[in-house]
Amino acid sequence: MKRHSLARLCLQAILCPWMLAVPSSAGDFQGKKVFPGIDVSAYQGIIDFNAVRDSGVRVVYIRAGVDGRPDDYLRRNYEGARNARLNYGFYYFVTAKNEKEAREQAGQFASLLEGKRFNARPVMDFERFGDLSKEEINRIGLAFVDELQRLTGILPMVYTDSYNAETVWNRSFASYPLWLADYQGTDNPETGVWSDWQGFQYTDKGQVPGIEGPVDLNYFTPEVLLYTTERPGEYHPDAPEILRYTVRAGETLRGIARKFGVSVAALVHENHIEDPSLIYVGEVLRIPEEEETDRYFLYTVKKGDNLWNLSRKFGTTVSTLAKDNYIPNPSLIYIGDVLRIPKK
């Protein structure tokens, strides 16, 4: 992300050496409850995310792509952050020169997010403007975040530095969460049209166990997360992950359920669907991570299964299975269907 001169970084290290290390846990910064965080890309190489987590980092932002290409370490970083049970999300480095390219790059970002679970807002990182005018920058940025929100159903966050927040961005962006880069360590950073920040990047020369070389250090408020635990803003390593999926032409709810290994019932309840036979192209569905409960367990249909033999096997009735699983035709189930089976 934002890079600064060597002289400024050296001054920062002399005056504020505390800024180069990760705080040990969530705490307060500029009067806000915050979580320590980092943002990473292929530049950081191979990362030991377990060591990152153990150092006190609680939120990781991963570069998804740049200029139409996925980051070379996208898959590795995604799997590493997820396996380490960190809170994590993705950002996209925008290089668009007009609104058409901005919408195309937003579509590329949405495609890279598809099929991935995450719990922090997607981010537009648009910081290299070339010879674009202020008006062009704002139109391009707005086209990107507007298209990204349309495709994902999530309000994106905007990354920028304090100078551009004050001099470039117009009021069209005031409703989007702000991730601000300011390496001065000031208590009153310039936020421009934004009333406050939700992410604060305070150095790009941080040192974190598990990462060789420098890395950006940040603070993030609970508003960056797409959901919270019972006590809002409290870090919880076992919190559920989120996955959003955009319905395509020809798809059915049962087909989508099989694709992600969840029951139709889970999709119906998670998305408040009144008629499971009726979903729309372009509709954004939340895909839950389904777990067994004290009322039912999950069963994946195998070759040769039907509701009659399953009802006998598990001591229930065909009508109960059909009702609980939104099956319109009890004679027709498919291999790979995930069924909720009531416990005795």
Which one-letter amino acid corresponds to residue 293?
Answer: T
- Of 203, 215, 212, 209, residue with least CA distance to 45: 212
Q: Which residue has tokens 């959901």? A: 227
Tokens of 250: 């020809």
In the chain, the N- to C-terminal Cα span, in Å, equals 55
Tokens 């974190």 correspond to what residue?
Answer: 208
Q: How far apart are CA 290 and CA 247, in angstroms?
A: 20
Cα–Cα distance list, 251 to 17, 122, 322 (Å): 55, 25, 21
CA distance 180 to 185: 12
Question: What DSSP element (H or E) covers 201?
Answer: strand 199-206
Catalytic-role residue among 101, 127, 251, 305: 127
Instruction: Give the residue from 93, 90, 101, 103 showing the smallest Cα distance to 147.
Output: 103
Contact 172, 138 (CB under 8 A): yes
DSSP code of residue 281 = T
Per DSSP, which regions of 47-150 are E strands? 59-66, 69-70, 87-93, 123-125
Asked if residue 311 lies in contact with residue 252, where contact means CB atoms within 8 angstroms, the answer is: no
Determine whether 146 is an active site residue: no
d(CA 233, CA 35): 9
Q: Is 39 a catalytic residue?
A: yes
- Residues forming beta bridges with residue 339, ordered by sequence position: 299
Tell me the pairing of strands 157-161 and 123-125: parallel
Query: Roughly what angle, to the nearest 10 degrees, separates helices 99-113 and 134-152?
Result: 30
Catalytic (active-site) positions: 39, 127
